[in-house]
Structure 1
Amino acid sequence: MPKNTRASSGASSSKKPRWSSEKRSARGLPTERPRGGAAPAERRPGRPQRAEDGRPMWEPRGKDAKFRPERAPEERRRSARPPFDRDARPARDDRPARSDRPVRSYDDRPARTERPARSYDDRPARSERPARSYDDRPARTERPARSYDDRPARSERPARSYDDRPARSDRPARSYDDRPARRGSDERPARGERRSYDDRAPRRSYDDRPAPRRDHEDRAASPNPFPEDVVLERLTAQAVEATAVEGLGFEDLGLGQNIVRAVNELGATEPFPIQAATIPDVLAGRDVLGRGRTGSGKTIAFGAPLVERLLQLNADRPGARREFGRAPRALILAPTRELALQIDRTVQPIARSVGLFTTQIYGGVPYARQLGALQRGVDIVIGTPGRVGDLAAQGKLDLSKTVITVLDEADHMCELGFAEPVQEILDLTAPGGQKLLFSATLDKGVADIVDRYLVDPAVFEVAGEDQASSTIDHQVLLLEQRDKQQVLIELASGPGRKLVFARTRAFAEQLADVLDDAGIRAESIHGDLNQSRRTRALEKLTSGRVDVLVATDVAARGIHVDDIALVIQADAPDEYKAYLHRAGRTGRAGKEGTVVTLVPRNRRRRTEELLARAEIDAEWTSVVPGDDVIAELAGR
């Protein structure tokens, strides 16, 4: 008996038998089994009625009701349902045993041998079938050949003749008289009367254009292929001889006793030439332009007379000096945060000596402290153009009472793109206010500001401020690019504080790591660092916790650290002004200093041109690591 029979019998035995009408009645159900069309309420009592869309219509419950369906009491449920009787279930033993089932028989089928064999005898044999014949077709040779004899020969065809066409001379001439005249044709002049072009301007000539550059080697070596380093014409200035100020003191220049005492405490006992030349005119209220080399005392040259001038102006306004929330009366702008902080370190003690207050306004730090100082009221604001212009645009900084404005490193601010912001700031100051411009390289780059805002300015420079009278020794070491880091380590290993300049921020950090690995304490400073880290790096160099500070050109202007005897330029700058300001970090206030520039051999020509623009005559020396000249420059 095959497996299918067992499976069907097992499925029928496992199927639950249907209840009879008596069992349905005993369980409280209708005797008739509901069909598909019956309503849900008729199928089973106790269920909630449903709406037309099929959803149950539940009755709302109270807030204290538990989340469980409503159930009938236990007694009613038990009485409505009969007790379970296990014996009432159909027993499995009532099924007949497999042995009692009739055996399935296939005897009624005829045997395969008794079945009639299939016969194909009624088909004719292949040999008896008629062969297929193609004899009814004519042979190819019997078919008629295709003939073109019915066509006439080419020689017998009539020649094409054009004799029936009239000759060109017999054709009527083409006339355009019947065409309508063009619009305005009567106004057109005859060809002989048309405009002559002899009065046109001569054609533009391109012969005066400069020849294209061919310095591909230098272009590949420099990060900026087309550096714009143009030596501008210097402003005409009145030269001040150093001998003309001998024997003068700050009291003789018109400064008060408190200010003179504060200046002396800063280390300036006698005025420098640029200070002696500019202080009297500043006190007189004139616009002044001062040009002096780095380290010549320009900060005191405008800081000390600015404080004295404010005292004179406040004398006409009694009580205004201590007014809460007062607007600043003086503004000093610098291109970098470091220079602004250095100016504040010089001007703040001078201002406090007479009861005036200063504050710094620059970017990279939160606004809260700066806004708090402005709300309390200050007399002198020292900051950078970006943050000063931002606060002025927000209405947090009132410059309408500013009567004295100082631009330190004015040419550098214009080079950095601050010319327009500086002009916007100057427009916000009091009309007719005093303007002071100071820089080490004051030239025609600030001519627009000078012509627009300064009235009959007094221009001063110190005579004889050239390399011959300078205390800075300039050295250039010519080397291979692969030897640069080793030579730098040997130069930095000597005693004293050293300042190393690099062109890029990444190279500055790399050199600081190289020096640290060589056992030389070094820190890096560049524009990617926030102000607190930059200030902390400068404090480490000033306090002696590090011996070398590796910086980009952000430190080339305005950073003053005492006793820096050696400046190393790991990368030569692209602009001669940057070279002068880098070199100005040493040899300050008459002290001696050395500037060493490391130049690869493929950059020699460009460096020579740079030194020529800076009017520097340096000594060139070809070196390799371990040479005695390196140890001599390092001071070992």
Structure 2
Amino acid sequence: MTAITIPANFTELGLIPPLLARLTELEYQQPTPIQAQAIPSILAGRDLIAGANTGSGKTATFALPLLQQIHAEKPLSSKNSKGNYVTGLILVPTRELAKQVADSIKSYAVHFNGSIKTIAVFGGVSVNTQMLALRGGADILVATPGRLLDLISSNAIKLDLVKTLVLDEADRMLSLGFTEELSAIRALLPKKKQILLFSATFPEEVKSLTEELLNDPIEIQVQSADASTLVQRVFTVNKGQKTALLAHLIKENKWRQVLIFVNAKNSCNHLADKLSKRGVTAEVFHGDKGQAARSRVLEAFKSGEIDVLIATDIAARGLDIEKLPVVINFDLPRSPSDYMHRIGRSGRAGEVGLALSLIDHEDYHHFNVIEKKNKIRLEREEVAGFEAGEFTRDAFSAPEKPMAKPEGSGKKKNKNKVQINADIWLRNS
């Protein structure tokens, strides 16, 4: 790995005056660790693998040097380009992230006076509108893979002049869900290009895939867990009391902006109904909702009009909700890496945040796996009135615990298949 000198401020990163002026207006005081380490390497044309905690400024890390490179080369590229070209291509896994990244880039480019054209394309909205926007091409295109391929098949965009490819949330982009689409897109790109991979997590199976993609890349890993403003807590609870505990916590703490994660679309509506019966109003956010409805719900949540939002993992990737105080895992994520993406919605950019996971006996083993993969260890706590009995630290040798015998029954009942006994550490909630 190449050694990198960390500059002290944005002026020393080699950025041009229009970008520095905009950063001053946005009150960016000094670079984050990932920005300080990565921006000079990107400006030097190096391929990059960059891992950093969510909320660490990854979008600015690739957006600022990309804007500077395009600005410097634009007079030449404008003369030589033909048709619906694109110079910088940013691939993202979700619609919301595509719009958010494009909006950020447009904000950083204010002092280029409209000379750099940035377009976001994604599914769930009219393809015709996006085709019209792409007439004459784009300097920077932020896209979800499926919609990009649709536009390519309609001859609305060409990738033969792409100079920089960015994979945001690269672990997801390189996963099996996007393999075929990404392969099809790569086949249309020029062989010579700069490739930048950004993500909060890079599992080993993903790292192996990067070797064939990048040319002598610089690898940067910035994980600032020690200085994190995000507090992680775990509450144990019996499975049948999870909803009651959730409602209790929301009302007791008077939380006014809570993002709750579940694993399935139908679970969103089911949990919203159960919370409503307990006096907590919640909206839902998942893939079955139309794009216009998703956008309305998200904006209302960001503005504080909605107090509680129940979402699937489409909200776990890249969404930047300013000063979001609380994230709750009602269901544990299936992938340990998704745990970090979920909790990263809170505690962003130095703001204090709380990431809370509710686990029952059946969740205990899986949460041990999540901790092991992410190299964390959290105390198990309980809330008065919602005690779950005993849990064991060692979920791999968890003894079984018999179920209570129903009143009036003389028959023996089977033991629970997964009941876990253990120590409980108490802390004031």
On whether the aligned pair clears a TM of 0.5, the verdict is yes
Are 1:478 and 2:257 counterparts? Answer: no
Residue of structure 1 in register with 2:36 after alignment: 276
Aligned counterpart, 1:572: 332
How far 1:586 sits from its partner (Å)? Answer: 0.8
Letter in 2 for 1:537: V
Residue 384, structure 1, aligned to residue 144, structure 2: yes
Deviations 1:260-306 (A, max 9, x none): 23334444221111001111111111111111111111110001100
Q: CA deviation at 1:365?
A: 1.2
TM-score by length of 1: 0.58
Local SS of the residue matching 2:10: coil
Cα gap change, 1:528 to 1:264, in 2 (>3 Å): farther
Residue 326 of structure 1: how far off its partner (Å) = 4.6
Relative to structure 1, the CA distance from residue 416 to residue 341 in structure 2 (aligned partners, 3 Å threshold; closer, same or farther) is: farther
Kindly provide the CA deviation profile for residues 349-372 of structure 1, in whole angstroms up to 9, marking residues without a partner as x: 223431211111111111111000
Q: CA deviation at 1:631?
A: 12
How far apart are the structure 2 equivalents of 1:388 and 1:549? 29
- The corresponding residue for 2:285 is 525
Q: Which residue of 2 aligns with 1:254?
A: 14
1:287 and 2:51 are equivalent in the alignment: no
Amino acid at match of 2:158: D
Residue 396 of structure 2 aligns with which residue? none
Distance in 1, matches of 2:3 and 2:144, equals: 30
What residue is the counterpart of 2:100 in the other structure? Answer: 342
1:559 lines up with 2:293 in the alignment = no
Task: Please give the alpha-carbon distance, in whole angstroms, between the structure 1 residues aligned to 2:229 and 2:2.
Answer: 23
Counterparts of 2:78 and 2:357, CA distance in 1: 56
For residue 243 of structure 2, what is the amino acid of its counterpart? Q
| CA 306–370 in structure 1, closer or farther in 2 if over 3 Å, else same | same
Q: Is 2:196 the counterpart of 1:436? A: yes
Aligned to 2:132: 372
Cα distance between partner residues in 1 of 2:128 and 2:157:
13
Identity, in percent, stands at: 35
Once the two structures are TM-superposed, the CA of residue 319 in structure 1 deviates from its matched residue by: 5.6
Task: Give the greater-gyration-radius structure (CA).
Answer: 1
State how 1:134-149 maps to structure 2 within 5 Å: none
Greater mean alpha carbon deviation, residues 363-372 or residues 441-450: 441-450
Number of equivalent positions: 388
Aligned to 1:541: 301
CA distance in 2, matches of 1:252, 1:449: 33
Gap runs ≥5 in structure 2: 388-424
Q: 1:286 to 1:387 in 2, by over 3 A?
A: same
Distance 2:366 2:77 in 1: 58
Deviations 1:114-152 (A, max 9, x none): xxxxxxxxxxxxxxxxxxxxxxxxxxxxxxxxxxxxxxx
Residue 154 of structure 2 is aligned to residue 409 of structure 1: no
Confirm or deny that 1:603 pairs with 2:355. no
| Whole-angstrom distance in 1 between the partners of 2:21 and 2:428 | 41
- Partner residue, 2:405: none
Change (3 A) 1:521 1:324: farther
The one-letter code of the counterpart of 1:503 is N
| C-alpha spacing 1:331/1:524, structure 2 compared with 1 (3 Å) | same
Change (3 A) 1:268 1:511: farther
What TM-score do you get using the length of structure 2 for normalisation? 0.84
Distance 1:608 1:252, change over 3 A: same
Structure 1 residue ranges without an equivalent (≥5) = 1-236
- State the one-letter code of the partner of 2:180: E
How far apart in 2 are the matches of 1:448 and 1:509?
38
Identify which of 30, 39, 57 aligns with 1:297.
57
Contact 2:175–2:206, Cα closer than 8 Å, also in 1: no
Kept after mapping to 1: 8 A contact 2:233/2:379: yes
Q: Deviations over 1:13-69 (max 9, x none)?
A: xxxxxxxxxxxxxxxxxxxxxxxxxxxxxxxxxxxxxxxxxxxxxxxxxxxxxxxxx
Map 1:396-475 to 2 at 5 A.
396-447=156-207, 449-462=209-222, 465-466=224-225, 468-475=226-233
Q: Which amino acid aligns with 2:30?
A: E
The offset of 1:458, in angstroms, is 1.0
Q: Residue 31 of structure 2: SS of its match in structure 1? A: coil
Aligned pair in 2 of structure 1 residues 318, 528: CA closer, same or farther (>3 Å)? closer
